[in-house]
Amino acid sequence: MANPLHAGFFAVFLLSTAAAHADEINVAVTANFAAPLQKIAVEFEKDSGHRIVPSFGSTGKFYAQIKAGAPFAALLAADDETPARLEKEGEGVAGSRFTYAIGKLVLWSRTAGYVDHRGEVLTKKAFAHLALADPRLAPYGAAGVEVLQALGLFETLQPRFVTAANSTHAYQFVASGNAELGFVALSQVYKGGRIAEGSGWIVPQALYQPLRQDAVMLARGKGKPAVEAFLQYLRGDKAREIIQSYGYTL
């Protein structure tokens, strides 16, 4: 029969060994992916002992910060172009880039019944403000502009734009009532297989370029097992299930 004192000592030894090898990872994360990343980070820490320290914001701003030497080990972008550019410029580790999610755009209002299922609310004069993320910095904002151009409404509606720093801020403009409606990431309003509150039009994919969201290991993360483990975890079944629960496709 095993000695319980020995068994207890061995368990403590394993925990202390895991703690000794645990690491913190600074990750730059596109604002639209905040909610799923927070859930994934909890599961990753449970399973690996490593801790994610996320910073949320716009992909364009993160690019500038990374070029200026920001201490991020990995980037989870809202597009595939920025990670590819960083890889080409030597800031991203060659061969580490992959698509972790494909996002969807939604025209959303906090008011039930305000946005119809075909987006025809955009052709009416019943609203004064339309929120969207800065299209120069945020791919979801650029996608919103694409939609309006495809519908022939860009010139008409541009004076009503409320431009936000990123998709989270665009969501906050609408949620607070400072804008009657706005283009946001579906993941921000999606729960239980549907738009959880207010009303929205999930924009047909034909109206904008696919929002392929790529991850890339950055130069500061190269050779660090915790960073490699996190990016591998992001491709695993547990993370993929969380990602899909927020309306992303894979």
Q: Is the pLDDT of residue 5 over 50?
A: no
Asked whether residue 6 is domain-assigned, the answer is no
Q: Which residues of 140-158 are buried (b: 16+ CB within 10 A; e: fewer)?
A: bbbbbbbbbeeeeeeeeee
- Asked if residue 183 and residue 110 are part of one domain, the reply reads yes
Model pLDDT, residue 9: 44
- pLDDT tens figures, 143-199: 999 999 999 999 999 999 999 999 999 999 999 999 999 999 999 999 888 998 999
Mean of pLDDT over the chain: 92
Residues 6+ apart with CB under 8 A from 37: 27, 29, 52, 54, 76
Model pLDDT, residue 243: 97
Q: What is the CATH number of the domain that holds 57?
A: 3.40.190.10
Q: Record the pTM.
A: 0.83
Closest to 130 (Cα-Cα) out of 107, 104, 146: 107
- Asked if residue 146 and residue 95 are part of one domain, the reply reads no
- Asked if residue 203 and residue 108 are part of one domain, the reply reads yes
Asked whether residue 13 is domain-assigned, the answer is no
% of the chain residues with pLDDT over 70: 92
Q: How far apart are CA 2 and CA 46, in angstroms?
A: 28
Asked whether residue 72 is domain-assigned, the answer is yes
Per the structure, the count of domains in the chain is 2
Quote the domain boundaries for residue 35: 21-102+211-245
